[in-house]
Structure 1
Amino acid sequence: MKTTNQLFVAMLTLLLFFNSPLSFAQDDAKRPMYISVTTTYWSDDYKGTPEEWRAIEKEYMEKVTKKNEFIMWTGYFRHLFTDNSNEVIYAQTYPNWDAIDKAAARNAELEKEAWPDKEAREAFLKKMNSAYTVYHSDEIYATMPGAKELEGGITEDMILYVRQNKMAFPEDGSMDEWEALHKKVFENVISKNEYAKAYYPERHAWGSDKRDFNEVIYVDSMCDLEKMFDKYMELMKTALTEDERKAYNKYFGHHGDYLYIPIRF
């Protein structure tokens, strides 16, 4: 039986690992290092139409977001199957941690360039923000190597599936074991699953729960989502032995499943 100090060391080792990148190959020079995820909610008092909302957000994206050199990518997603039908997810990626603060300051500069008149600028921003309630939440995740990149862009029927894992920290676990098993799953299961069009792993960096390990997956349709799960189970049986599957699963506690529809502009 391990002593309390031994258990602490084992947990600390895993905590350090889950806040460190995996080592298997990927071009870090092109990969964004962080992603911010803002969860906001439609306002019941919004006076505009969906078309007006889309137009004003597109205008802001063209005049501000796309010109911000500290932001690598931006995406909007709306609720499909989550616990709140009013959810709107806004995500942005950054090349490094410093870029997060710099992006916010650069947005303010670009807003002034786009709408030099103060009253016009404030009116535009007030109208844009009126689509949402005053409450929102923010999380920042660190991206991880081992991504399966989306090819060909987002299509009209595409679904975004987010599996939010709550990591467990078993006293008999190790960084080497986790890394080897996850690498094996990525190479032999995720990469070979034709229904998973893209896969992006991300871990907690700043926010409410340091156990978070998210797996973000794009599929072509709801029908393909079920096929993706079936294919995953099929590939897992051949990729890992029964003992390896048990070892892999011990690093996971419970998880939550969320489905979103990408919003295209």
Structure 2
Amino acid sequence: MKTTAKLLAFVLVFALCANVSSQESNEEKAEDFKPVYITMTTTHWNDDPDTDFSDWLETEKEYFEKVVKKNDLIMSSGVYTHYFTPDNSEIVMVNVYENWSDIENANEINQKLIEEAWPDEKDRQAFFKKQRSYYRPDHKDEIYLSMPFMIPESQDSQESKIFYVRSSDLAMNGNGKPGKFKEHFEKVTKKSKKLKGYYTHRHLWGSNGREMTEVFVFDKLADIEDFFDEEENIIKATWTDEKERTAFMQDLGSNFTGKHADYVYRSVPELQK
């Protein structure tokens, strides 16, 4: 059962990190920034046509209330469903921890909370059998480290949010100019009126050592296109000289290979800690 509980701890976990980051001031100095550890699991809905999803949210809310919310080592957690991604069966689940050891220790606490919540073994096995039935057994686990470039969401919301995720490959060739990314963040990203939140994190453990991810939070899908227009206008207003603007964007781009992937997810507010 302990192994099962550890698996479920990963399966029932996005930052993303949003609620934890909201505790930190936008004006914090970089040297005061303390990164958090983000476990991210991408799993999939069960494709068995006989699967009954009618009580999925009710089941996950029960586990969330009895286990996730009571585990103080889980600083933040969230569940994000496919909106525009290559695979419409995707579900992204995230937990945020203060440090690496808390990832393992949180699983042990989860096990205790599970036994307290379902003291009868038959009831416990029945609950987790039902919970597992919603998902396929194949999934992908990644661990990330948060970066200091963030715009915390101003307040908690009971409404579902749109999360646009841009995953970029870092060049890692010694020719990048990281200071240009910080400058873009300060002069452009932070000035956006459309963004409801913005977070960055870096690969720590997983399949792609080059990966850096930006998470843009919006109220609705149409805001993404408006944000791109707004961003372009801010860039032109900041670097009015076209040659200087082109040079800056080239320097900014030197940090990356040019390869990136875009995903859009929708949050499940009932499962947000």
2:196·2:219 contact (CA, 8 Å) conserved in 1? yes
Q: CA 1:259/1:145 → structure 2, altered by over 3 Å: closer, same or farther?
A: same
Following TM superposition, by how much is the alpha carbon of 1:24 offset from its aligned partner in structure 2, in angstroms? 5.0
- Corresponding position: 1:257 with 2:262: yes
Give the distance between the partners of 2:236 and 2:51, measured in 1 at CA.
53
The whole-number CA distance in structure 1 between the counterparts of 2:235 and 2:265 is 25
Contact 1:25 1:146 in 2 (8 A): no
Among 23, 46, 51, which residue is 1:47 paired with?
51
Distance 1:221 1:127 in 2: 32
Whether 1:128 and 2:131 are equivalent positions in the alignment is: yes
TM-superposed CA distance for 1:135, in Å, is 0.6
Q: 1:79-118, aligned counterparts within 5 Å?
A: 79-118=82-121
Aligned-residue offset at 1:220: 1.1
**Unaligned stretches of 5+ in structure 1?**
1-22
Secondary structure (helix, strand or coil) at the match of 2:131 reads: helix
CA offsets, 1:124-145, max 9 Å, x none? 0110111000111100110011
Given that residues 40 and 136 in structure 1 are in contact (C-alpha distance below 8 angstroms), is that contact kept between their aligned partners in structure 2?
yes
Partner residue in 2 for 1:143: 146
* Partner Cα separation in structure 1 for residue 206 and residue 262 of structure 2: 19
Q: How is 1:18-37 mapped onto 2 (pairs within 5 angstroms)?
A: 24-25=29-30, 28=33, 33-37=36-40
C-alpha distance in structure 2 between counterparts of 1:172 and 1:28, whole Å = 25
**2:155 is the counterpart of 1:152:** yes
Indicate conservation of the 8 Å contact 1:26/1:145, yes or no.
no
TM-score w.r.t. length of structure 1: 0.84
In structure 2, stretches of 5+ residues that fail to align are 1-27, 240-244
* Residues 24 and 182 of structure 1: CA distance in aligned 2, closer, same or farther (over 3 Å): farther
2:232 maps to: 233
CA distance in 2 between partners of 1:243 and 1:212 (Å):
24
TM-score by length of 2: 0.82
Per the TM alignment, residue 159 of structure 1 is displaced from its structure 2 partner at its CA by 0.8
Whole-angstrom CA distance in 2 between matches of 1:203 and 1:230: 27
Amino acid in structure 2 at the alignment position of 1:49: F
3-state DSSP of counterpart to 1:98: helix
Instruction: Give how far 1:94 is off.
Output: 0.5
What is the RMSD of the two structures over their aligned residues, measured on CA atoms? 1.8
Secondary structure of 1:191's counterpart equals helix
Alpha-carbon contact 2:74-2:95 (below 8 Å) kept: yes
- Amino acid in the other structure paired with 1:67: K
Q: Note if contact 2:172-2:210 (Cα within 8 Å) is conserved in structure 1.
A: no
- Please tell me whether residue 73 in structure 1 is matched to residue 81 in structure 2: no
Q: Which residue of 1 aligns with 2:21?
A: none
